[in-house]
Amino acid sequence: MKGPIIGIVIVLALLATGAIFYASDALQAVPAAPVEQTYANDLFEFSFSYPTGYLLAESEVGVLGRTHHVISIIKEEDAVPRVYSEGPTAVTVDIYQNDTKPQTLEEWAQSDESNAKLGDGVMTEGTVDGAPALRYTWSGLYQGETTVFLHNDRIVAVSVTYMSQADDIYAVYGMLLNSLRLR
């Protein structure tokens, strides 16, 4: 009779030891908070954060006879050009001069430079680091959302393209807007 009892005690001891090791591994496997990168621009006098694993690129783009500065943020894995496919979802920051023929946010949103006409026309008021802002959604190849505000004689339009608001890129858009600091 002692043999089976000793066997049961050994099995229970092994199970308890395994449970302790499993629990300690589970505690150590807590994922770390995502590391953030900071972008700062002295010319445009603002900064923001975005997560690692994303690439940032800047360019000057001419549209409708007017050049503006564009900052694009995409996932690193989307940096390889796709064959026979559309571009990746992204967050973009478009910066337009607004000093030669100043426009209000509402006027700009209704202009050809904006994509608000692709939406339902609903504009939501808010702020970006204390600056009055307008937010609107639109639809094209992807779903989109834009937040636009005035800063130092410039119109700044922060946009995101996404398939679903559950997509990581939509969270990056929120992170950028929440961390954006105007100087």
Residues 129-173 have pLDDT tens digits of: 999 999 999 998 899 999 999 999 999 999 999 999 999 999 999
Q: Which strands, in side-by-side order, build the sheet including 46-51?
A: 36-41, 46-51, 181-182
Asked if residue 16 has pLDDT above 50, the reply is no
pLDDT of residue 19: 41
Sign of CA dihedral 56, 60, 62, 66: positive
Q: What is the mean pLDDT of residues 92-110?
A: 91
Residues 40-98 have pLDDT tens digits of: 999 999 999 999 999 999 999 887 667 899 999 999 998 887 777 788 999 999 999 98
pLDDT of residue 138: 95
Is residue 49 exposed (0-12), middle (13-18) or buried (19+ Cβ within 10 Å)?
middle
Residue written as tokens 């996932």?
75
- With cut-offs at 50, 70 and 90, classify the pLDDT of residue 34: low
Distance, CA of 69 to CA of 61 (rounded, Å): 6
Is residue 75 exposed (0-12), middle (13-18) or buried (19+ Cβ within 10 Å)?
middle
Of 33, 12, 144, whose CA–CA distance to 135 is shortest? 144
Full-model pTM: 0.78
Is residue 153 exposed (0-12), middle (13-18) or buried (19+ Cβ within 10 Å)?
exposed
